[in-house]
Amino acid sequence: MPKDILKVVIIGDGGVGKTCLRNQFIHKRFTSSYKATIGADFITKDVHTDDGRKVTLQLWDTAGQERFQSLGVSYYRGADACCLVYDTTNFQTFHNLERWRADFLKQSSLPPDLLEDFPLILIGNKIDIDDRVVSRRQARAWAQQHSSPRMEIRCFEASAKDGTNVEEAFSCIAGMVKIPQLEFDMDGSDSFHLNRRDDSLRGRKSCAC
């Protein structure tokens, strides 16, 4: 049986920490010596569901500079979900989410009736830095404004540096796509298991931030 592949695209301004969030999720570590992503980078993580299915998370990490959005169509096509990332210490990166979201939906080649319900999450990175300029209330308001009755945009405040909420955010998006009511249960190996739990991540009304 072919395994399920969930394609998740990570977008947002340059320097907000897209690559670091991804690396924290995959490798459980943070390094300050990272490189700018040119074009797109790509990494996969195999996860197992409790009914024995193997699911591959394909994380597409994209370049943050605006001009690279002209390449976006080739990276966005066929995406199952999208992580919008901003920097909680830089208001402009939050302001630009509007443009990132619109551009993603425009270039994703989705049928118009699916656009509204497309799975998105919001991640405010760098909460380990005591210099916040984007409030939780602002993030929640943005998420609510862009949610639809069938698709609530969850928002997370995270730190790629100390790992806060990173696992939760990526678990959430994996759950939103195809396999609701799941959590990641780390077993220390390169893959980990998805178990059912009662309080579905998808069903929650409140934001984690």
Partner 1 sequence: MGNSSRCTSTHSSMKEYRERELKWLSVVSKMDVGTVEKDNKLKKLVRSGIPASIRAKSWQFLSRSREYQKPGLYKTLLQGAKSSVHDVIEQDVARCYPNHVHFMRRDGEGQNDLRDVLSAYAQYNPDLGYCQGMHCLAGCMLMQMPAEDAFWLLVATVDRYLKGYFDPSLSQIRIDTVVIGELLREHQPKLARHLESNGVTPIMYIPSWFLTAFTLSLPWSSVLRLWDVFYFEGVKVFYRITLAILEICKDHLLQNCPSNSELLAFLLHIPHKYLGPDLLLETAFRIKLSKSDIAKYARKASIKDASVAGLPFEPGLENLKVGQNQSTSSLPSLKSLSGISKRVKPHRSQTSGPHTLPKSSHLT
Pick 71 or 207: Cβ nearer partner 1: 71
Instruction: Based on the shown chain and the rule CB under 8 A, indicate whether residue 71 belongs to the binding site for partner 1.
Output: yes
CB of 106 to partner 1, least distance (A): 15
# residues near partner 1 by CB under 8 A: 29
Closer to partner 1 by Cβ: residue 41 or 168:
41
With vertex at residue 36, the alpha carbon angle to CA 32 and CA 41, rounded to the nearest 5 degrees, is 110
- Is 65 among the residues that bind partner 1 (CB under 8 A)? yes
Distance between CA 204 and CA 4 in Å, rounded?
25
DSSP code, position 102: H
Q: Is 52 helix (H, G, I), strand (E, B) or coil?
A: coil
Q: Does 205 bind partner 1 (CB under 8 A)?
A: no
Q: What is the DSSP string of 192-209?
A: EEEEE-SS-TTT--S---
**Closest Cα to residue 171, out of 185, 187, 152?**
185
Indicate the burial class of 51 (C-beta count within 10 angstroms; 0-12, 13-18, 19 or more): exposed
Could you tell me the smallest distance in angstroms from the CB atom of residue 31 to partner 1? 8
Contact between 10 and 61 (Cβ < 8 Å): yes
Q: Which is nearer to partner 1, 34 or 144 (CB)?
A: 34
Q: Does 4 bind partner 1 (CB under 8 A)?
A: no
Please pick, from the candidates 29, 50, 53, 74, the single residue that binds partner 1 as defined by CB under 8 A. Answer: 74
Binding residue for partner 1, selected from 49, 58, 138, 147, defined by CB under 8 A: 58
- Asked if residue 133 binds partner 1 (CB under 8 A), the reply is no
Q: Which residues bind partner 1 (CB under 8 A)?
A: 5, 14-15, 32-44, 56, 58, 63-65, 67-68, 70-71, 73-75, 78
